[in-house]
Amino acid sequence: MAAQGRQRILSGMRPSGRLHLGHLHGVLDNWIRLQDEYECFFFVADWHALTTNYEKPWTIPENIGDMVLDWLAAGVDPEKATIFVQSDIKEHAELHLLLSMITPVSWLERNPTYKEQQQQLKERDLATYGFLGYPVLQAADIIMYKANKVPVGVDQLPHVELTREITRRFNYLYRDVFPVPEALLTEVPKLPGLDGRKMSKSYGNSIYLNDSEEEVVRRISTMVTDVERPRKSDPGDPENRCVAFNLHKLYLGRERLDEIVAGCKAAEIGCVACKKELAAAVNAAMEPMRERRRALAEDPDTVKRILEAGAEKARAVARKTMEEARNALFSEPPPSEQADSGE
Ligand code: TRP
Ligand code: SF4
């Protein structure tokens, strides 16, 4: 099918290494749906990782391959979407620089994630120029591909809003080069980790996309259930008190869910058996992912080749955009200025 006429999507992830079910349901499922409807660009934001990890930059490259492997295993399809690494396209750095010239510092300082992250990552010194400019680089990523839509979670909305402001400012100052992109808010289903806190690598409470069947069974067996139900003979309250039940809701059919709720409330089902059933359902859902991973493992160069092909496609678009951007700035004054000069 011709890509022409389809709207463009761009989204990225910082390379955090192997991904977990939170990423799958929060981001990747959505990307996989979008790649059929839109012309998609999905990229690894490795320069963004540098803004917070500049003291240990060598940890970044190894995470890239692992993460992209998870994307592919999950079903992100290089035949449908362009998959690439940010630092392979040096044009991002040039556009970032040009945009930095027109971005008021006050816009960046009032960005809510700026102060928040500085507070959260206290052990690192984030009073850097690069970290303040994080959203400017993100704006460059997005408008480089003239993306119409940017799928993001709520936490990233301020960044897309800043991108819109920076884009309007560029178009106003120079020429109408860039479409003003819109956020496509991704609804993230509630997916707590094994202990009930947010699923996160740093809490060690995750189920990873590359976990073996045995690991999934083992991890789910440790999952917190209704704590007011120490014995099977105590009636439970799955909907309000069981952490595991949030996963049940994602992986079991409506009918079986109703049976479990009834059985748990009537103290007829035990948590051990109930979580075994859950693990089996999670494993069944992960099987296609394991299958793709096995196929990908047959040729260790697959990821490298996919990223090279992706970079080539991305670079072609980026070069063209940069030519337009440079022209807009440097070739001649915009029509309004020409009229003013009067001769
Ligand atoms: N800031 C995003 C995150 O932390 C990653 C990112 C970088 C991104 N550039 C982007 C996301 C462009 C969407 C579009 O998740
Ligand atoms: Fe949760 Fe199932 Fe145990 Fe009920 S029986 S508390 S739903 S694990």
CATH number of domain containing 60: 3.40.50.620
Give the pLDDT of residue 1: 44
* Together in a domain, 240 and 323: no
* Together in a domain, 173 and 238: no
**237: Cβ–Cβ under 8 A, 6 or more apart, which residues?**
226, 228, 229, 264, 265
* Together in a domain, 59 and 73: yes
* Together in a domain, 46 and 185: yes
Neighbours of 60 (CB within 10 A): 20
- Which of 90-104, 115-129, 143-157, 317-331 is predicted with the least confidence, judged by mean pLDDT? 115-129
Overall average pLDDT of the 267-271 stretch = 95
Concatenated DSSP letters of 195-257: TSSBP-GGGT---BTT--HHHHHHHHHTS---TT--STTS---HHHH-STHHHHHHHS-HHHH
Q: Which ligand is nearest to the CA of 270?
A: 2
Q: Is the pLDDT of residue 209 over 60?
A: yes
* Together in a domain, 231 and 311: no
Share of the chain above pLDDT 70, in %: 97
Q: Is the pLDDT of residue 340 over 60?
A: no
Q: Which ligand is nearest to the CA of 228?
A: 2
Atom 7 (ligand 2): residue with closest C-alpha? 238
Paired tokens of 135: 């959203």
Give the pLDDT of residue 86: 98
3-class DSSP state of 102 = helix
**What atom in ligand 2 is closest to the CA of residue 223?**
8
Residue entry with tokens 């035990």: 270
- Which of 31-45, 115-129, 205-219, 252-266 is predicted with the least confidence, judged by mean pLDDT? 115-129
> What is the CA(207)–ligand 1 centre distance, in A?
23
Residue 123 lies in a domain: yes
> Using CA atoms, how far apart are residues 227 and 158, in angstroms rounded to an integer?
38
Beta carbon of 162 within 6 Å of any ligand 1 atom: no
Paired tokens of 12: 């990225």
Q: pLDDT (tens digit, 9 = 90+) per residue, 42-81?
A: 999 999 999 999 999 999 999 999 999 999 999 999 999 9
* Together in a domain, 142 and 184: yes
Residue 152 lies in a domain: yes
Q: Check: CB of residue 88 under 8 Å from CB of residue 44.
A: no
> Using CA atoms, how far apart are residues 239 and 251, in angstroms rounded to an integer?
15
Query: Domain of 263: which CATH number?
Result: 1.10.240.10
Residue 143 lies in a domain: yes
pTM score, whole prediction: 0.93
**14: Cβ–Cβ under 8 A, 6 or more apart, which residues?**
44, 45, 46, 48, 49
**What atom in ligand 1 is closest to the CA of residue 134?**
1
* Total residue length of the chain: 343
**211: Cβ–Cβ under 8 A, 6 or more apart, which residues?**
219, 286
- Exposed (0-12), middle (13-18) or buried (19+): which is 196, by Cβ within 10 Å? middle
Give the pLDDT of residue 75: 98
* Together in a domain, 27 and 62: yes
Domain count, the chain: 2
Beta carbon of 11 within 6 Å of any ligand 1 atom: yes
Beta carbon of 12 within 6 Å of any ligand 1 atom: yes
Atom 11 (ligand 1): residue with closest C-alpha? 12
Q: Is the pLDDT of residue 294 over 50?
A: yes
> What is the CA(11)–ligand 1 centre distance, in A?
6
Q: Is the pLDDT of residue 2 over 90?
A: no
* Together in a domain, 19 and 118: yes
Q: Check: CB of residue 108 under 8 Å from CB of residue 71.
A: no
- Which of 141-145, 196-200, 211-215, 275-279 is predicted with the least confidence, judged by mean pLDDT? 196-200
> What is the CA(285)–ligand 2 centre distance, in A?
20
> Using CA atoms, how far apart are residues 193 and 207, in angstroms rounded to an integer?
8
> Using CA atoms, how far apart are residues 130 and 146, in angstroms rounded to an integer?
23
How confident is the prediction for the chain on average, in pLDDT?
Answer: 94
Beta carbon of 229 within 6 Å of any ligand 2 atom: yes
User: What's the gap between Cα 53 and its chain centre?
Assistant: 18
The residue from 257, 280, 295 where one domain ends is 295
- Beta strand 149-152 with 81-85: parallel, antiparallel or unpaired? unpaired
Residue 178 lies in a domain: yes
- Which of 117-126, 232-241, 269-278, 312-321 is predicted with the least confidence, judged by mean pLDDT? 117-126
Q: Is the pLDDT of residue 125 over 70?
A: yes
Share of the chain above pLDDT 90, in %: 84
Residue 206 lies in a domain: no
Atom 6 (ligand 1): residue with closest C-alpha? 12
Residue entry with tokens 């999670």: 282
* Together in a domain, 181 and 220: no
> What is the CA(259)–ligand 2 centre distance, in A?
11
Residue 137 lies in a domain: yes
Beta carbon of 126 within 6 Å of any ligand 1 atom: no
Residue 200 lies in a domain: no
* Together in a domain, 50 and 122: yes
Domain that holds residue 226: 213-295
Give the pLDDT of residue 189: 75
Beta carbon of 8 within 6 Å of any ligand 1 atom: no
Paired tokens of 20: 């977990």
DSSP 28: I
> What is the CA(139)–ligand 1 centre distance, in A?
9
* Together in a domain, 181 and 326: yes
Atom 3 (ligand 1): residue with closest C-alpha? 13
> What is the CA(278)–ligand 2 centre distance, in A?
10
**What atom in ligand 2 is closest to the CA of residue 260?**
7
Residue 196 lies in a domain: no
Neighbours of 249 (CB within 10 A): 16
* Together in a domain, 115 and 258: no
Paired tokens of 108: 């960046």
> Using CA atoms, how far apart are residues 263 and 94, in angstroms rounded to an integer?
61
Q: pLDDT (tens digit, 9 = 90+) per residue, 148-178?
A: 999 998 889 999 999 999 999 999 999 999 9
